[in-house]
Structure 1
Amino acid sequence: MSLETFDPIAYFEDRNIPYSTEGKNVTENWVNIECPFPFCNDPSNHMGINLESKLFSCWACGEKGGMDRLIQELEGCSWSESQVILSQFQENPYKDIPLDTKYPETGSKTAYSKDIKDILSPFSDQFPKIHLNYLKSRDFDPDILIPKYKLKACYNVGKYKFRVIAPVIMDNEIVSFVGIDVTRQAKIPYKNASDIESIIPIKSCLYNLDNANETVILVEGITDVWRIGDGAVATLGKKVTMEQINLLIRKGIIRIYLLPDSDAYYEWEQLAFTIAPLFDYVELLELNSGDPANLQENKLKEIQDLIRR
């Protein structure tokens, strides 16, 4: 089940909920309904659902979030029940799901079979010299970084050989990982764990979200987070999924500073427009070159100060 392939109009028609796709108060590529939240006394159709992101925002009362939250309010159901409902109104319930995935009767994706305790078992707590030298060459202190982010190492065998292994932790559980090349020679410097190797698919996660409060610096990569510290959250790639945006909403994030790599600025400019109605404050920051992991000390402090405001 994917939030991105949920069909709001099919759901509204099935539940006999009046909706508008054009006319007063309706923006292109949005569908509007009357806001169901109890403290909204506006009788008009100011509740908008973006047909691309599948996130809602009421222009009258300010309520916003993902379709699971809206369904809970409309139906008075639990979160788990809302997930079943979401799975029943998919434009294509099999999109982006591996052929060998098993499905329950609802048609939604099962819990992942990989055991949490096994996910990092191929990797070591012992760091070879080449791994330590890589971290030091990037101006990271291994004595601080390794315990803080629970890093592991893969030495010279297997598909993750010569990589630092960075666990992806959500709600204090390790659910996936990224392998970071220490040779600087690999065609893929950052290798994400596959869905089969993960408890949760990596693009349904946000790196370091557990260490965020109301203000976040949203970045692309893990080393960007290491450089900035707590309050920085990584999307684990240039593409940002609606599941990831929904995680920010559920976390209660209020202010977001987008800090993409310099080559992704225009992609993230569109992202800023898309998510602006969903948070109290969204600002797109621009780097002249490179990525946040290579920020100079004075610029780094400016970025870190944004989190502490």
Structure 2
Amino acid sequence: MGRLPMPFCEGHGEHGGASLDHKTFSCWQCGEGASPPKLVKQILGCSWAEAYRTVEQYSQLDTDRLFTQVPISERKSLVELPPLSAPLVGPGGGYIKSRGLDPGVLEAEYGVKEIGVLGDYRLRLIIPVYVDNTLVTFTTRRYVENSEPKYKAQPPEKAIIPIKHCLYNIDTVKDQAIIVEGPVDVWKLGIGSVALFGTSSTVEQQEMLVNRGVKRVFIMLDPGTEKPAEKLYFSLISLIREIKIVRLEGLDPGGMTQEEAINLKLQLL
């Protein structure tokens, strides 16, 4: 579609193109590619959250790939954690210790909180999700065994970016990343690991990796999830230079000791 200037390329002239079918931009000269949010972020010099909001507001693309269909005027400009969120000094902190983790570290580094027996998120850990150091949504994890779902996320219409459009811990990623399923896995592996909030990945999560300039990826999902891991592999293979599926035998990253998880990360990176 036409010839466009490409802000990522150091060359001069109009040697960029746009694909309306794939909703991407690319440069014919240097080979650089971009999704609509990446292009907006580069041109405006704004945050990822603002870039996604701008695409939703002005684009005529099928924006349900980028956000749920909530008018920009009705979308919250700020996300707040549930009002009963408290420090990790109660049973939530005890659960974290039982997983071999330090509540103080999780609260300081990830902003994790807990809620007691009251409210919509009772008996849960509150897990903030940040993109570009901006709180864009949150999810929760129960810390007691009951009939409720293990994870319960903020409703997408109340988020700046819905949970399945985010990668947990993405702000710590540079040119390589370890992809895991959930926040507990990230807490064990630390910097450079990101969570999908489940076994499946979305286009938006994949774009977030590509837009960060990630060149090397290790897919480390829980045992028994070979098909989702392979699906993610083939989705990324043409976009990221080096991808490897790490198959764990009988133990997921969240079930490892902190020492085991860090040693595994050092072997990979």
Same fold (TM over 0.5): yes
Query: Residue 63 of structure 1 corresponds to which residue in structure 2?
Result: 32
User: What is the match of residue 48 of structure 2?
Assistant: none
Q: Is the 8 A contact 1:119 1:198 kept in 2?
A: no
* Alignment match of 1:88 (pick from 22, 47, 60): 60
Q: 1:135 aligns with which of 96, 109, 114?
A: 96
Question: Is 1:270 aligned with 2:231?
Answer: yes
Bigger mean CA offset, 146-155 vs 290-299: 290-299
- Check whether the contact 1:131–1:182 (CA below 8 A) recurs between aligned residues: yes
> 1:207 maps to which residue?
168
Select between 280-289 and 218-227 the one with higher mean Cα deviation.
280-289
> What is the CA distance between 1:84 and its match in structure 2?
6.7
CA contact (8 A) 1:57 1:277 kept: no
Matched, 1:283 2:240: no
* Equivalent-residue separation in structure 2 for 1:93 and 1:152 (angstroms): 31
| Paired AA for residue 192 in structure 2 | G
Listed as ranges, the gaps of 5+ residues in structure 1 are 1-11, 18-35, 103-109
Note the residue ranges of structure 2 that are not aligned, 5 or more in a row: 46-50
CA distance in structure 2 between the aligned counterparts of 1:124 and 1:55, rounded to whole angstroms: 40
What secondary structure is seen at the aligned counterpart in 1 of 2:149?
Answer: coil
In structure 1, the residue matched to 2:76 is 114
Asked if structure 2 preserves the Cα contact closer than 8 Å seen for 1:212 and 1:232, the reply is yes
Matches within 5 A, 1:73-222: 83=55, 87-90=59-62, 97=68, 101-102=70-71, 110=72, 113-116=75-78, 119-127=80-88, 129-222=90-183
Question: Which amino acid in 2 is paired with 1:64?
Answer: G
Identical-residue share of aligned pairs (%): 28
1:62–1:262 distance in 2 versus 1, CA, 3 Å: farther
What is the deviation of 1:179?
Answer: 0.8
TM-score (norm: length of structure 2)? 0.78
SS at match of 2:156: coil
- Are 1:228 and 2:197 an aligned pair? no
Kindly state the Cα deviation for residue 113 of structure 1 after the two structures are TM-superposed: 3.1
**What CA deviation, in whole Å up to 9, does each residue of 1:47-70 have, x standing for no partner?**
99796x756778995433425557
Q: Deviations over 1:248-286 (max 9, x none)?
A: 122221211111122322112121112112112111111
Deviation at 1:186, TM superposition (A): 3.9
Give, in whole Å, the separation in 2 of the partners of 1:58 and 1:229.
35
Contact 2:40–2:55 (CA<8 Å) still a contact in 1? Answer: no
Give 1:297 deviation, angstroms: 6.0
The structure 2 residue matched to 1:243, chosen from 204, 226, 236, is 204
